Amino acid sequence: MLDVRAAFQSDHWRDFLERRAEREAENAHPYKSLVSDCTPAITI
């Protein structure tokens, strides 16, 4: 918790939030890289 408070009090808050968002996205979508180059076939 002290790390978060220190980042908030300093100039590193924006960097902290960006890294946190990246880690959360990786955790939420661990296999995203497997389908990143696929294009879904849409037929009507």
Residue 42 domain-assigned (yes or no):
no
Instruction: Report how many domains make up the chain.
Output: 1
Q: Predicted confidence band at 23 (pLDDT cuts at 50, 70, 90)?
A: very high
For the stretch 2-11, pLDDT in tens is 788 888 888 8
**39 domain-assigned:** no
Task: Report the pLDDT averaged over residues 32-41.
Answer: 81
* SS3 per-residue string spanning the chain: CHHHHHHHHCCCHHHHHHHHHHHHHHHHCCCHHHCCCCCCCCCC
Residue whose structure tokens are 């946190």? 20
Whole-number percent of the chain with pLDDT over 70 = 100
> Residue 8's domain spans which residues?
2-34
Tokens of 41: 């076939």
Taking the whole predicted model, whether its pTM rises above 0.75 is answered as: no
Does any domain span residue 30? yes
For residue 40, tell me if it sits in a domain.
no
CB 16 within 8 A of CB 7: yes
Kindly state whether residue 13 falls inside one of the protein's structural domains.
yes
Q: Which residues contact 12 (CB under 8 A, 6 or more apart)?
A: 6
